[in-house]
Structure 1
Amino acid sequence: MLILTKQDIKKVFTIKDAIDADKDALRIYSDGKSVVPLRVNIDIPKEEGQSLFMPAYVEELDATGIKIVSVFPKNIEIGKPSVPAQMILLDGKTGEVIAIMDGTYLTQLRTGAVQGAATDILARKDSKIGVLFGTGGQAGTQLEAMVCVRNLEEVRVIDINNDRAKEFANNMQQQLAEYNTKIIAVENGNEAIKDADIITSVTTSRRPVFDGTLVKKGSHVNGVGAYTPQMQELDEVIVKNADKIYFDTKDGVLAEAGDFIIPMEKGVVSEQNFSGELGQVILGEVKGRENDQEITLFKTVGTAVLDVVTAHRIYKKAIENNVGKHVEI
């Protein structure tokens, strides 16, 4: 069995690798060539916590796996992460556990990469200005994915805490220096998006973080953060006005994302307004962007297929490069 830490993964796996893995994962999912049972949530009332078990099987890779994510808010009091996670990867031919890896970083990587995949497929090729709402744990890979797939001159960062936005922008300017993109913190999100080509929101907000009427023609919008029926970071106006709307998984978004559940309940939009899954675009079953005036919108809530495919790619690269710690059980 191979044990892989965050640093081990970073040694062998780039955001570009993750974007390629996510494109394959979405293609496999939309092609019906994966098995994704409903995740199991176990409440732990004694500790005010919850543990989630997210399994999937991908026949094409002879791989199966399960990500275990826990939410234990009181962990902060004892100096431990409040959302610990691990990914367990199994050999699909033998059922043996072949790897355990850092699930927190894996989640950040594959979530940033799925936005990167959507941006690569749907955003205008000449995009120059990006906007990022939110500076939490997912934000770093979201930003890197954006600048990886488009040669952006500037990315504007917005957070409810402007000091936090400034600190994040300064740190990322150093970390992503190779991309030659100016990364700046701004206070007014609505001003920031007026001439933006790519807008990515990765917040847990229960109200829209920007005015949808201000999104210019030809822009591409990514909704990444809201993952419950109560969260709504995307303005209903942009959901209504977008020319084309794509999901990572239609079933997941319509069951979990308030960004779409709320406006659908109000009758603002219906399923007829949705173009399909990004995997269907990759398969050639659904058209992507067709001109430079279309506003495209992508929404993701995540799927365990992303975890399994990405984890499998990481495992293969770690073996090739002799990275990680082997243990016998």
Structure 2
Amino acid sequence: MSTDATALFLTSDEIASLAGPADYVDPVREGYRERGDGAPAEPRTTLFNDDPAGMLTGYLAILPETGAMGGYTYAAGFGGRDAHFALPIFDAESGDPLALLDGASMNPLKTGAAGAVGIDALARRDATDLAVIGSGAQARGQVRAAATVRDFDRVEVYSPTQAHRESFAAEMNEALDATVAAVASSAAAVEGADVVVTATNASEPVFDGDVLEAGAHVTAMGQYHPEKRELDATTIERATYVPDLRDRVTQDAGSFIHAMEEGVVDEAHIHAELGEVVAGHADGRTNPDEITVFDSGGTAIETVAAGKMLYDRASDEEVGEEIPFAPASRAMD
């Protein structure tokens, strides 16, 4: 009979102390490289409930070379009207539990890292002007990570509430070397931008695809429901389209689904998964005038990669609490 295993429990505050935005990018890039070379990953499964209103979501990935596998699960809404994130990490060779993470503080950072990997793989190397639509925690994570892979001179932010976008600009001016300015419309942000990041929960497109400059790259990260579409059909049609996982595109990539319904694209328009580009199995950008889109709906690739990095750091720094896990064999003894 197997003996008890132990796992390291890490609180959100402990995780926040272990790593900053730049620390997530390389592990997440490696995770996508492994996916491009064939590592297993599945799109999210989401269960919706009407009364009380809420959703339960989970997704899975195995990263053999990273040495970790796991599944991200979160509940949002319901009676508490909030969200909670749980991430178990297992050893990819033995299957033993390694860690259990409270994912609240890491969530915008691991998602931002996925966006940064998309920018690094697809945006022009000389990109200096960044537009961001959205001003919440996810937008902050995206911008801070993006600044680690490109040397931006200027960032323009738009969100519908003036106070929110101005507060975002003031905070990011302190955090970044770039000049960050709040602007009065999404068109003002997107016009002339080399990179556009959308970080919203919008159900309708947040900018007009005709405004995109030749050579622009778009990272859209609020695309995880068939009825949510930050990008219009014009943007999808004009772009080399790269999702995080091909299998999720017709399941919950709302902008692509809508573009198919309008008849401007079909599934053949999916260029490659991000991992295939990172691993060198598919081209990224091939010319300076090409428009590219990374559709980042969220996967366990970035989550498990980030979780393993945090576990390793916590182990080295003796952070966290050891908790016991009984093996399944005990239940059958």
What residue ranges of structure 1 are gaps of 5+ in the alignment? 77-81
Q: What one-letter code is carried by the residue in structure 2 that aligns with 1:280?
A: E
Indicate conservation of the 8 Å contact 2:233/2:262, yes or no: no
Residue equivalent to 2:89: 89
The correspondence of residues 267-278 of structure 1 with structure 2, limited to 5 A, is: 267-278=263-274
Of the three residues 205, 210, 213, the one matched with 2:207 is 210
**Alignment partner of 1:223 is 2:220:** yes
Residue deviations 1:17-54 (CA, integer Å, cap 9, x gap):
31112212222223222253x65545566543333233
What residue ranges of structure 2 are gaps of 5+ in the alignment? 1-6, 326-333
Structure ranking higher on relative contact order (CA contacts 8 Å, 6+ apart): 2
Q: What one-letter code is carried by the residue in structure 2 that aligns with 1:187?
A: A
Q: What one-letter code is carried by the residue in structure 2 that aligns with 1:234?
A: L
Output the CA distance in 2 between the equivalents of 1:301 and 1:40: 12
Q: TM-score, normalised by structure 2?
A: 0.89
Indicate conservation of the 8 Å contact 1:3/1:100, yes or no: yes
Output the CA distance in 2 between the equivalents of 1:192 and 1:64: 39
Residue equivalent to 2:232: 235
**Alignment partner of 1:191 is 2:188:** yes
Residue equivalent to 1:255: 251
Q: What one-letter code is carried by the residue in structure 2 that aligns with 1:202?
A: A
Residue equivalent to 2:73: 68
Output the CA distance in 1 between the equivalents of 2:59 and 2:99: 16
**Alignment partner of 1:18 is 2:24:** yes
Output the CA distance in 1 between the equivalents of 2:181 and 2:78: 31
Total equivalences in the alignment: 319
Output the CA distance in 1 between the equivalents of 2:269 and 2:288: 20
The correspondence of residues 156-175 of structure 1 with structure 2, limited to 5 A, is: 156-174=156-174
Output the CA distance in 1 between the equivalents of 2:257 and 2:46: 21
Residue equivalent to 1:6: 12
Instruction: Note the C-alpha offset of 1:162.
Output: 1.4
The correspondence of residues 276-291 of structure 1 with structure 2, limited to 5 A, is: 276-291=272-287
Output the CA distance in 2 between the equivalents of 1:309 and 1:118: 15
Kindly report the root-mean-square deviation, in angstroms, between the aligned alpha carbons of the 2 structures: 2.0
**Which structure has the highest helix share of the two?**
1
Of the three residues 52, 60, 77, the one matched with 1:55 is 60
Q: What one-letter code is carried by the residue in structure 2 that aligns with 1:164?
A: H
Instruction: Note the C-alpha offset of 1:315.
Output: 0.6
Instruction: Note the C-alpha offset of 1:9.
Output: 2.2
Indicate conservation of the 8 Å contact 1:22/1:306, yes or no: yes
